[in-house]
Amino acid sequence: MLQPVIKWSGSKRKSAEFITSFIPKTGTYFEPFLGGGSILGALGNRPGYAGDQIPELIGIWDLVKSDPSFLANSYEKSWNGLQREGHTYYYKVRDRFNKKRNPEDLLFLSRTCVNGLIRFNTYGDFNNSLHHTRPGIHPETLRSILLEWSKIVSKTKFAATDYENLLKKAKLGDIVYMDPPYMGNKGRYKNEQFDFERLWQILDDLNKRKVKWILSLDGKSGDRDYSKALSAPKELSKDAYLLDGESSAFPRLLNSRLDNVTESLFLNFKIK
């Protein structure tokens, strides 16, 4: 299995094979909520656009594509500094990132922080702590991962932009995969909810433009009932599936109860 460049909350790495089985092999691929890029990586090298609203994250992906050696060398330098100086070095890099927003520093922090969790405060500053019991991925291991990914994303154009803006380029024959934040989850940078009503409008617009799309939705907020919220994508889609913890398909969602959904996949087209 392809190893990730960067860990990301809500990663679809375990379900990537199942999800990509629905993605047509032709047409330009769009992924506007890129995160750790699990689906992009599972698809292999194909023309497409990938975006996210976090500029530093897209900066990492641009470097993976254009200069993976620079990214690997930077990580190795910081990793060696951490082994030599300990926790003070980690917090020195964290302070530097919060001032300069260097993508290479974000990669280092993501690989050495607690549980690899990318976490920002309301001011947009990275605030996760050092994972004291782990040294971070070895530089040579990460270098191999970066070089492998660089080949995979060579045809992908990355953009630090809002998802609606990225999808303006999508046309008939293209395919869009969307994995927005969890239902009930707070925004990545600011303490605000993701606007799902806006997402439903954009899905409706893609339908009118006859652009194929696949939507992942995760309901992971305790006992909350998302049946009402899930009714919107159900009405906009033509097919849907439930996934279990091992990412295998349940009976199709369109014929199932909605109140127990933890992970679902909606499509606005039927699989032949």
**CA angle at residue 147 from 53 to 58, to 5 degrees?**
10
Please tell me the predicted confidence (pLDDT) of residue 257. Answer: 46
DSSP letter (8 states) at residue 248: -
Of the candidates 262, 36, 67, 47, the residue with the CA atom closest to the CA atom of residue 146: 67
Q: What are the residues whose beta carbons fall under 8 Å from the beta carbon of 96, sequence distance 6 or more?
A: 102, 105
Compute the distance between CA of residue 59 and CA of residue 101 in angstroms, rounded to an integer. Answer: 10
User: Which pTM does this prediction carry?
Assistant: 0.88
Q: Output the CA torsion sign for 144, 145, 148, 150.
A: negative
- For 16-53+161-267, the fitting CATH number among 3.30.1330.60, 1.50.10.10, 3.30.420.40, 3.40.50.150 is 3.40.50.150
Compute the distance between CA of residue 61 and CA of residue 73 in angstroms, rounded to an integer. Answer: 15
Query: What percent helix, strand, coil does the chain show, rounded to 5?
Result: 40, 15, 45
Same fold for the domain at 16-53+161-267 and the one at 66-150?
no
**CA angle at residue 23 from 185 to 146, to 5 degrees?**
70
Each domain of the chain, given as residue ranges in start order, spans: 16-53+161-267, 66-150
Q: Which residues of the chain have pLDDT under 70?
A: 182-192, 219-230, 244-262
Q: What is the CATH number of domain 66-150?
A: 1.10.1020.10
Compute the distance between CA of residue 270 and CA of residue 185 in angstroms, rounded to an integer. Answer: 30
The H or E element spanning position 267 is strand 263-267
Please tell me the predicted confidence (pLDDT) of residue 256. Answer: 46
The structure tokens listed for 30 are 């769009």
Compute the distance between CA of residue 118 and CA of residue 133 in angstroms, rounded to an integer. Answer: 18
Is 151 in a helix, a strand, or coil? helix
Please tell me the predicted confidence (pLDDT) of residue 262. Answer: 63
